[in-house]
């Protein structure tokens, strides 16, 4: 998309989300008809702009002047909501585009999710809108809401009798139903909404577009998202990066993560979900918080509504109950927070309030002293919040005693909302009234321990990501489609010709006759590998022999392999003879393309153990050497890289730089589908050698004219 | 404990939990005093037995005749509740024991949790009670409740204004506070309680005793438990096994699982928590369900209150929303349930109710057809429940429309509680009233997806365990304390002398001179290993050389090792020379003792990779060969055992039998702290050879007189 196209797109989205004038095509009186419901919703939630009902058969609808057709409206129209059945939509879209409306919403179902004819219709309306540069939301969606201007451009029945309120949280959803469930929770929590949008079949606008708009939108400070899968990811990654810069948390609930769920999601919105691990990696890399339910999403949202989370894991627990304190300590440690001991200074300060028999530790157990000393809680909380020793505090309280509620509740409301760090307070076995009051005073309250700790820990991770560098290039995803497998020799030759990597000394022979001459200046032992594109796994299939000590042994082996290949009628380029390397450590390095999520690097412990142990990790490109270096520490077997049992440390810096070059090379070569180096060996003296490599290419000869072809 | 001791213990516990007569020592008028609260609680909750207040300074307490002393009461006393401060307790315990009371509760704190003097007092009162064979609950506890007879023998303030109701759920807790939070939830859920007991400092009765009682108790059908750690595990394991036989689920919340939590728990009740993985294994092995919060505990409890769970993973999802259906599918698959497709027969049956454009799959998406056809839900549910194709059903519904609530709610109440399988229904965005009514009609309802799926999946796992064999021996845990490390040679000689395992051919030499003669009838290559108890890791420390091809090389190596040992002043028994084996697969087999949880087997992939990959699993003894065989399938690298890449399959049956013998041997030899075989090699031809082994023994010579000492 060119900058001017982008600018006009942004303008179009502004008209969609914040229109000054709205047309309801197919407006009716009855609330049980879509066109009636949409008009009522527009009228009832405080929208101040112009509202034009369109209905050819009536002069007024819901006491408003009705227009016979979209074309009959005089003033400009920012948004046209098409409330007609699928088969009537196309004509109205064409009319709307000719009438120069600013944006479109199509609510009807019966398009791509229905049948082939519907899919064709959907494609046609999308094309018309796109040709006119008019953004189209839907079809098969519930529309959108804008809490800031009381705009309810939606056919949902779920807001009946309820009021759309402004607020700081926005929600983007591929499912209309899930979006209404989210809104129901929001209202139950007495919270308002900035923007709410359902993207349905995504004929034109996708969750990526909607997300990008919400990240830019000043009214939206927290973003929730329900997705089943993405159609394209570069816009999402740009939005994720912008959200980091603007310090807006993005919290995502994704379905289709398991195979059964993926199947269900695909039949629901027709989006293929792709590999869960890659989504997780993409989210992690951009600090997008993935949750397992709407409840968890709203838990995290509430953290950001009550505080400005800071990174840092030093956690203090203050508890009325020793047992609850221990449970919080467990949950915190499992969530990657830590409970450092209180310093001597802090203990000395607290000791003034606690009798000598109370052991002061972390968790701080308030013991029955809290009944004796009505100021104990406030003093303790004051001491901890002013100590600079902690980033996060969890308090646990329980009970109905009026004194306790009064003393502790007041102290919390006074201290916690003003504290510079993160916190949550957990209350059990108390009254709903008290909890409501406490929340109304701005204190973040939970009823259960793991929920509280998980939500705050997630906020800490998001804040942590905010303190790290933000990528500034978002390469379009490419890939998919059939590809060809290059032989090892061709793969290595290609990489070598581009100055990538170092390889064992090797030579390709086409018969056993050449071996003696070829090895004259070479030193054994040697590896011998048959070069055939039809043989994917050389080991286990007789296509590889290692540690051959003499040229004679090599010659015999070459002869045997070629004979066997002939017998099995394998197409074969020859046999590769290489000097064996003395390998200290084996890595796997892969570069792959996910057709939706983009190009990524896979690194891990190499050799045959990859399939068994799967000790690998992934990260999306582009990646700098330092980032690659830090990926190694994610591996289970990181100790092996760090001088395990007296072995030399792996040259991580050098590995990072080597792999960075390979990543750049891969990004620059679209015709390569995948590169796999396995093993990449760290050899004697720290030399990095690509022992085996395979290139998968979309063309049979990926710009290979420049690659030497062996012998 | 002898059978007669056990019988009298059971009798004592019966008097404790279900007394006919209760004495309140230290009874007062005031509710804010412990003695007043306990008496009020006994009087107000419907307890029908005799109640004797004891107070030396008043003729009546709370309008009841008061006794001057415990000794002044005439009739028999089943339970004496001591409500006095710590320093007054000891005298009353002595008096109570002399007066022949049936059981004792001590509520006061100020004992072992307080200081050394308190610990000594606690030990004394426990001794007195134990000498008289009178069970004592506490001190530092909140007592117990028996919902079946309205007995509230507790000092908790949390029941003020509430009524103790009979019910099917029991709760055992090491923390009084956690027990009150549990009770608060139970009351909020409108459920009753069979037994509720807090064990406090466990001077005499432990959670194990209480659990055993609840498992035996006919009124208790579901058992919840909060623990920080166990003092002894054989009674627990017996109770776990009994619970399996009696089909009673045990659901446990344990704190002290992380290092911070363990520290917190230890300072709370003084119980050392031990290794989390071992607890998890113990719970798994006995089908005890471990949860992360009281909410989760009550979620699982509610499953058992509404249905009789069956094993089986075939799950069907019926959903109003495609998105929610996909989320449930994910949660189900992550919880180890599976969503098989509907059969053709079932689809044909359902097709009568669904229009042609609806794709019928699993999840079943009800689509908007549910609005068109008011009987759609009932028909669908009827078809699924009568199909015999599924063990578990999740339904997802949402909305406030009166028609929908009526139709679907009625169908659920009619069909689900009578179904033979497991189910949960999830409702979102509806009214609280409707949910309350639905629950009152016996339907299991949740508000959120992961909670519902997790709870039902846990119930399925419990039911699964019920269908498997129950162990019938519960060996006492032994172990702890210092131990000695035997050299490899001594370890192997000891095992060999007991007919355990096969070893490589080997010989111990004390100087290089003997090597040539020793190897005369042996075939290389050889391994050479220094035998020193001071050297724990031979590899990486110059204590091992492998693959020596000739006797000369062996001799030189032996000489060098002995020289190096002398220089380093290592105590050394000599050098072990062994024939190298051709190993297909390396295992680690360990036998260890946890001083609390008992003896256990550890198996996994062996060699040096153990430390890096930790691909190991554990199980408590006793174990049969078939159970050991099935342990291998838990390993990440199970494929390696199953004929990976053309290698022969590992002889799992033979391995199971070999390891079973070793387990029996270990159980029979208390003087051995630990046995480690690493690697246990599966060698050419499937021979199982213990390549390296170490014994750790409590005595320097564990009955080694019968072991040949080499040469």
Please answer whether residues B82 and B111 qualify as being in contact, where contact means their C-beta atoms are separated by less than 8 angstroms.
Answer: no
* Cβ-defined contact of B450 to A265 (cutoff 8 Å): no
* Cβ-defined contact of A449 to B325 (cutoff 8 Å): no
What is the distance between the alpha carbons of residues B139 and B126, in angstroms, rounded to a whole number? Answer: 10
Provide the mean pLDDT of chain B.
91
Contact list in B for residue A267 (CB cut-off 8 A) is: 322, 359, 361, 365
What is the distance between the alpha carbons of residues A584 and A2, in angstroms, rounded to a whole number? Answer: 50
* Cβ-defined contact of B322 to A263 (cutoff 8 Å): no
What is the distance between the alpha carbons of residues B698 and A412, in angstroms, rounded to a whole number? Answer: 55
Please answer whether residues A137 and A103 qualify as being in contact, where contact means their C-beta atoms are separated by less than 8 angstroms.
Answer: yes
Determine the distance in angstroms separating the CA of B294 from the nearest CA of chain A, rounded to an integer: 8
Output the pLDDT for position B711.
Answer: 32
User: Does the structure show a pLDDT above 50 at B598?
Assistant: yes
Residue for token pair 């519930």: A142
* Cβ-defined contact of A181 to B114 (cutoff 8 Å): no
Q: Model confidence over B91-123: pLDDT tens digits?
A: 999 999 999 999 999 999 999 988 999 999 999
Please answer whether residues A442 and A413 qualify as being in contact, where contact means their C-beta atoms are separated by less than 8 angstroms.
Answer: yes
Residue B1: count of CB within 10 angstroms of its CB: 10
Determine the distance in angstroms separating the CA of A280 from the nearest CA of chain B, rounded to an integer: 15
Tokens of A582: 């003395």
What is the distance between the alpha carbons of residues A180 and B533, in angstroms, rounded to a whole number? Answer: 70
Output the pLDDT for position B3.
Answer: 77
Nearest CB among B177, B259, B398 relative to A324 is that of B177
Q: Which residue of chain B is at minimal alpha-carbon distance from A266?
A: B326
Interface contacts A/B by beta carbons within 8 Å: 222
Phi, psi of B282 (to 5 degrees): -60, -45
Output the pLDDT for position A2.
Answer: 75
What is the distance between the alpha carbons of residues A650 and A629, in angstroms, rounded to a whole number? Answer: 11
Q: What is the DSSP letter of A33?
A: S
Output the pLDDT for position A68.
Answer: 95
Q: Model confidence over B405-431: pLDDT tens digits?
A: 999 999 999 999 999 999 999 999 999
User: Does the structure show a pLDDT above 90 at B261?
Assistant: no
Mean pLDDT of B141-146: 98
Tokens of A554: 């090599």
User: Does the structure show a pLDDT above 90 at B258?
Assistant: no
* Cβ-defined contact of B258 to A334 (cutoff 8 Å): yes
Output the pLDDT for position A682.
Answer: 94
Please answer whether residues A80 and A71 qualify as being in contact, where contact means their C-beta atoms are separated by less than 8 angstroms.
Answer: no
Instruction: Give which of B270, B330, B331 to mutate to test A binding, by max A Cβ within 10 Å.
Output: B330
Q: Could you tell me which residues come within 8 angstroms of residue A264 by beta carbon, excluding any fewer than 6 positions away?
A: A255, A256, B317, B322, B325, B326, B329, B361, B363
Phi, psi of A136 (to 5 degrees): -125, 125
Alpha helices in A367-479 (DSSP H): 369-372, 376-385, 402-415, 432-440, 449-466
What is the distance between the alpha carbons of residues A94 and A89, in angstroms, rounded to a whole number? Answer: 9
Determine the distance in angstroms separating the CA of A181 from the nearest CA of chain B, rounded to an integer: 6
Phi, psi of B652 (to 5 degrees): -60, -40
In DSSP terms, B222 is beta-bridged to B169
Nearest CB among B269, B293, B612 relative to A639 is that of B612
Q: Could you tell me which residues come within 8 angstroms of residue A215 by beta carbon, excluding any fewer than 6 positions away?
A: A223, A239, A242, A243, A246, A248, A250
**How many separate helices (H) and strands (E) can be counted in chain A?**
23, 30
Determine the distance in angstroms separating the CA of A175 from the nearest CA of chain B, rounded to an integer: 6
What is the distance between the alpha carbons of residues B689 and B683, in angstroms, rounded to a whole number? Answer: 7
* Cβ-defined contact of A228 to B181 (cutoff 8 Å): no
What is the distance between the alpha carbons of residues B703 and B711, in angstroms, rounded to a whole number? Answer: 19
Output the pLDDT for position B35.
Answer: 96
> Which of these, B156, B266, B145, B271, lies nearest to B207 by C-alpha position?
B271
| Percentage of chain B lying above the pLDDT 70 cut | 95
Distances (CA, A) of B192 to B189, B207, B414, B441, B459: 9, 21, 24, 17, 20
What sign does the CA torsion over A634, A640, A645, A651 have?
Answer: negative
Please answer whether residues B199 and B172 qualify as being in contact, where contact means their C-beta atoms are separated by less than 8 angstroms.
Answer: yes
Exposed / middle / buried, residue A106 (Cβ in 10 Å: 0-12, 13-18, 19+): buried
Output the pLDDT for position B131.
Answer: 95
Q: Could you tell me which residues come within 8 angstroms of residue A116 by beta carbon, excluding any fewer than 6 positions away?
A: none
What is the distance between the alpha carbons of residues A213 and B555, in angstroms, rounded to a whole number? Answer: 78
Output the pLDDT for position B612.
Answer: 76
> Which of these, B420, B411, B366, B413, lies nearest to B393 by C-alpha position?
B420
Nearest CB among A258, A269, A428 relative to B181 is that of A428
Q: What is the DSSP letter of B230?
A: -
* Cβ-defined contact of B612 to A265 (cutoff 8 Å): no
Tokens of B266: 């230890």
What is the distance between the alpha carbons of residues A500 and A655, in angstroms, rounded to a whole number? Answer: 13
Q: Could you tell me which residues come within 8 angstroms of residue B648 by beta carbon, excluding any fewer than 6 positions away?
A: B584, B686
What is the distance between the alpha carbons of residues B635 and A359, in angstroms, rounded to a whole number? Answer: 43
Q: What is the DSSP letter of B340?
A: P
Instruction: Give which of A110, A323, A448 to mutate to test B binding, by max B Cβ within 10 Å.
Output: A323
* Cβ-defined contact of A178 to B321 (cutoff 8 Å): yes
Exposed / middle / buried, residue A641 (Cβ in 10 Å: 0-12, 13-18, 19+): buried
Tokens of B353: 């109710």
> Which of these, B284, B217, B283, B206, lies nearest to B246 by C-alpha position?
B217
What is the distance between the alpha carbons of residues B407 and A379, in angstroms, rounded to a whole number? Answer: 56
- Please provide the DSSP assignment of B594-652 as one string: ETTTEEEEEEEE-TTHHHHH--EEEEESP--HHHHHHHGGGSTTGGGGG-GGGPPPP-H
> Which of these, B81, B72, B78, lies nearest to B27 by C-alpha position?
B81
Q: Which residue of chain B is at minimal alpha-carbon distance from A324?
A: B178
Alpha-carbon torsion, ordered B669, B675, B679, B685, to 10 deg: 0
> Which of these, B464, B455, B426, lies nearest to B292 by C-alpha position?
B455
In DSSP terms, B251 is beta-bridged to B224, B289
Instruction: Give which of A32, A258, A260 to mutate to test B binding, by max B Cβ within 10 Å.
Output: A260
Q: Which residue of chain A is at minimal alpha-carbon distance from B315?
A: A260
What is the distance between the alpha carbons of residues B565 and B571, in angstroms, rounded to a whole number? Answer: 8
Determine the distance in angstroms separating the CA of A471 from the nearest CA of chain B, rounded to an integer: 31
Q: Could you tell me which residues come within 8 angstroms of residue B120 by beta carbon, excluding any fewer than 6 positions away?
A: none
* Cβ-defined contact of B613 to A613 (cutoff 8 Å): yes
Q: Model confidence over B352-370: pLDDT tens digits?
A: 999 988 889 999 999 888 9
Q: Which residue has the higher pLDDT, A710 or B671?
A: B671
Q: Could you tell me which residues come within 8 angstroms of residue A559 by beta carbon, excluding any fewer than 6 positions away?
A: A511, A512
Determine the distance in angstroms separating the CA of B452 from the nearest CA of chain A, rounded to an integer: 11
Exposed / middle / buried, residue A582 (Cβ in 10 Å: 0-12, 13-18, 19+): exposed
* Cβ-defined contact of A261 to B327 (cutoff 8 Å): yes
Please answer whether residues B536 and B485 qualify as being in contact, where contact means their C-beta atoms are separated by less than 8 angstroms.
Answer: yes
* Cβ-defined contact of A329 to B363 (cutoff 8 Å): no
Determine the distance in angstroms separating the CA of A518 from the nearest CA of chain B, rounded to an integer: 31
Nearest CB among A255, A400, A539 relative to B330 is that of A255
* Cβ-defined contact of A401 to B260 (cutoff 8 Å): no
Low pLDDT (below 50) residues in chain A: 704-711
Q: Which residue of chain B is at minimal alpha-carbon distance from A638?
A: B612
Q: Could you tell me which residues come within 8 angstroms of residue B135 by beta carbon, excluding any fewer than 6 positions away?
A: B9, B12, B13, B15, B16, B103, B104, B129, B204, B205, B209
Please answer whether residues B350 and B360 qualify as being in contact, where contact means their C-beta atoms are separated by less than 8 angstroms.
Answer: yes
* Cβ-defined contact of B636 to A613 (cutoff 8 Å): yes
* Cβ-defined contact of A357 to B399 (cutoff 8 Å): no
Please answer whether residues A323 and B226 qualify as being in contact, where contact means their C-beta atoms are separated by less than 8 angstroms.
Answer: yes
């Amino acid at each position: 998309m060119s900058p001017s196209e982008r600018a006009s797109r942004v303008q179009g989205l502004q008209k969609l989300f914040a229109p000054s004038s709205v047309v309801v095509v197919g407006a009716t009186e009855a609330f049980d008809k879509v066109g009636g419901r949409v008009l009522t919703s527009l009228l009832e939630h405080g929208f101040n702009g112009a509202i034009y009902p369109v209905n050819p058969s009536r002069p007024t609808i819901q006491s408003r002047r009705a227009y016979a057709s979209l074309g009959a409206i005089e003033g400009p129209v920012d948004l046209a909501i098409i409330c007609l059945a699928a088969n009537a939509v196309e004509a109205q879209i064409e009319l709307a585009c000719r009438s120069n409306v600013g944006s479109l919403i199509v609510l009807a179902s019966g398009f791509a999710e229905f049948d082939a004819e519907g899919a064709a219709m959907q494609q046609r309306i999308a094309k018309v809108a796109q040709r006119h540069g008019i953004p189209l939301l839907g079809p098969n969606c519930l529309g959108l809401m804008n809490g800031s201007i009381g705009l309810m451009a939606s056919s949902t029945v779920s807001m009946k009798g309820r009021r759309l309120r402004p607020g700081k949280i926005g929600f983007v959803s591929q499912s209309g139903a899930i979006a209404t469930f989210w809104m129901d929770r929001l209202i139950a929590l007495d919270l308002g909404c900035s923007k709410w949008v359902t993207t349905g079949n995504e004929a034109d606008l996708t969750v990526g577009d909607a997300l990008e708009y919400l990240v830019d939108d000043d009214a939206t400070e927290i973003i929730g998202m329900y997705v089943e899968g993405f159609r394209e990811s570069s816009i999402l990654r740009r939005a994720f990066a912008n959200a980091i810069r603007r310090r807006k948390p993005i919290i995502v609930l994704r379905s289709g993560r398991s195979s059964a769920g993926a199947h269900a999601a695909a039949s629901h919105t027709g989006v293929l979900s792709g590999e869960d691990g890659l989504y997780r990696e993409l989210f992690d890399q951009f600090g997008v918080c993935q949750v397992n339910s709407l409840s968890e999403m709203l838990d995290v949202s509430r953290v950001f509504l009550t505080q400005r989370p800071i990174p840092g894991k030093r956690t203090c627990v203050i508890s009325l109950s020793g047992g609850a304190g221990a449970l919080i300590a467990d949950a915190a440690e499992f969530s990657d927070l830590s409970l450092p001991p209180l310093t001597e200074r802090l203990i000395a300060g607290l000791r003034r309030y606690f009798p000598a028999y109370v052991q002061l530790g972390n968790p701080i157990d308030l013991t029955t002293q809290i009944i004796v000393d009505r100021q104990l809680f406030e003093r303790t909380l004051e001491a901890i919040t002013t100590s600079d020793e902690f980033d996060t505090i969890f308090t646990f309280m329980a009970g109905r005693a009026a004194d306790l509620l009064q003393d502790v509740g007041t102290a919390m409301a006074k201290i916690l909302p003003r504290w510079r760090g993160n916190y949550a307070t957990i209350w059990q076995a108390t009254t709903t009234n008290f909890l409501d009051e406490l929340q109304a005073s701005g204190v973040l309250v939970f009823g259960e321990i793991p929920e509280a700790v998980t939500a705050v820990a997630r906020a800490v991770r998001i804040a942590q990501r905010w303190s790290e560098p933000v990528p500034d290039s978002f390469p379009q995803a490419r890939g998919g489609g059939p590809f060809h497998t290059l032989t090892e020799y061709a793969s290595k030759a290609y990489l070598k010709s581009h100055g990538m990597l170092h390889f064992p000394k090797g030579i390709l022979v086409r018969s056993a006759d050449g071996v003696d001459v070829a090895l004259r200046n070479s030193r054994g032992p040697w590896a011998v590998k048959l070069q055939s594109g039809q043989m994917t796994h050389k080991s286990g299939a007789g296509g590889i022999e290692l540690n051959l000590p003499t040229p004679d042994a090599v010659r015999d082996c070459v002869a045997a392999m070629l004979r066997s290949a002939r017998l099995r009628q394998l197409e074969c380029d020859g046999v590769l003879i290489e000097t064996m390397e003395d390998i200290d450590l084996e890595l796997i390095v892969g570069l792959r393309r996910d057709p939706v999520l983009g190009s990524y690097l896979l690194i891990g412990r190499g050799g045959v153990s990859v399939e068994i142990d799967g000790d690998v990790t992934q990260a999306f490109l582009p990646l700098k050497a330092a980032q690659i270096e830090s990926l190694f520490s994610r591996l289970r077997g990181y100790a092996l890289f760090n001088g395990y049992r007296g072995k030399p440390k792996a040259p991580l810096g050098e590995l990072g730089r080597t792999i960075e070059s390979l990543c750049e090379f891969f990004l620059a070569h679209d015709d390569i589908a995948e590169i796999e180096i396995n093993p990449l060996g760290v050899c004697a003296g720290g030399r990095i050698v690509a022992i085996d490599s395979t290139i998968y290419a979309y063309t049979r000869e990926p710009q290979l004219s420049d690659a030497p072809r062996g012998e």
